[in-house]
Amino acid sequence: MKFGIIGTGIVGTALAVRLEEAGHECLGVHTRSRLSYVRFRKYLKIDHLTIEELVPAVDILFITTQDGVIRSIAEKLSENALIKSGQVWIHCSGSLPSEVLRVKESLPVCYLSLHPLQAFASVEEALTILPGTHFGIEGDKEELGEEIVKDLGGIPHHILAEKKTLYHAGAVVASNYLVVLASFAVELFAEAGIPGEEALDSLLPLMRGTLSNLEQVGIPQALTGPIARGDAQVVQGHLDYMPPELVEIYQGLGLKALELGENKKALQGLSYPQEELYFLKLLLGKSGNGDGKERE
């Protein structure tokens, strides 16, 4: 395919390099940032073109800018009719649906979103980990999206456009909130006398071990610890000594852990003793009768 790119950041640059390696042809790029284009040229000697030169020349147009300007770019292209019939516009946002590109219904253009489910710190890192990266796909040309993802060495997944914000929320929880969880654990270690950097250094192997367990046995089997065992006395001890401002976070996570614990036991043909389950729910802020209401 003959493609062009608007936005030569980390994602745009890495996509261009890998697609060129797969046999596709990048006809040109456009960016407002001189620095990003200079960096792009270190990888591909592709001309910088004006919007007017680039867009009508390509079959596929990647818009790999920041999320906040994707719509305005689509509006500019639509107003100036900078298209050719049958063209496909693709953005790589995880939070915006492909429909954000559809400014005018009358345009003979198809719209697609390909989101790499990965955090790229640099172009070099992106080039290294794109093969094997999972992608969320939705839009008009999902079969084309699959082909592009496979050419990148990625793994495609079709998502519901109307629920895409929940897909993005899931990615945020898995990535950003993992850092938050580490911070939470470091705070608790600090209360026990192990300072910040030392605490993180000691926790990281434990976190890596848990990630390895997730890879090996999945959810809910990877869940371990007092809630998985049904050890309410240990949970009581945690809450007795926990700083008050952290209790609600612990309880919220604990309720989710208890749900996973019940699923894990069910897979084993087991269940929590009713008295233990009742006590755990009380400790974690729910009434013991399962009605979901917080205790008085």
Domain that holds residue 57: 2-159
Cα atoms in the Cβ-side hemisphere of radius 13 Å centred on 263: 13
Terminal CA-CA length for the chain = 64
The one-letter amino acid code at 162 reads E
Contact 279, 287 (CB under 8 A): no
Contact 122, 13 (CB under 8 A): no
The answer to the question of residue 292 being in a domain is no
Long-range Cβ pairs for the range 268-273 (8 Å, 24+): 272/230, 273/230
- Give pLDDT tens digits for 33-72: 999 999 999 999 999 999 999 999 999 999 999 999 999 9
The answer to the question of residue 229 being in a domain is yes
- Give pLDDT tens digits for 235-275: 999 999 999 999 999 999 999 999 999 999 999 999 999 99
The answer to the question of residue 291 being in a domain is no
pTM for this one? 0.86
25 and 60 part of one domain:
yes
41 and 129 part of one domain:
yes
Contact 12, 5 (CB under 8 A): yes
- Given 3-state DSSP classes, what are the helix, strand and coil percentages for the chain, each rounded to the nearest 5? 55, 15, 30
102 and 195 part of one domain:
no
Q: How many domains does the chain have?
A: 2
- Compute the C-alpha angle 96/97/102, nearest 5°: 110
153 and 45 part of one domain:
yes
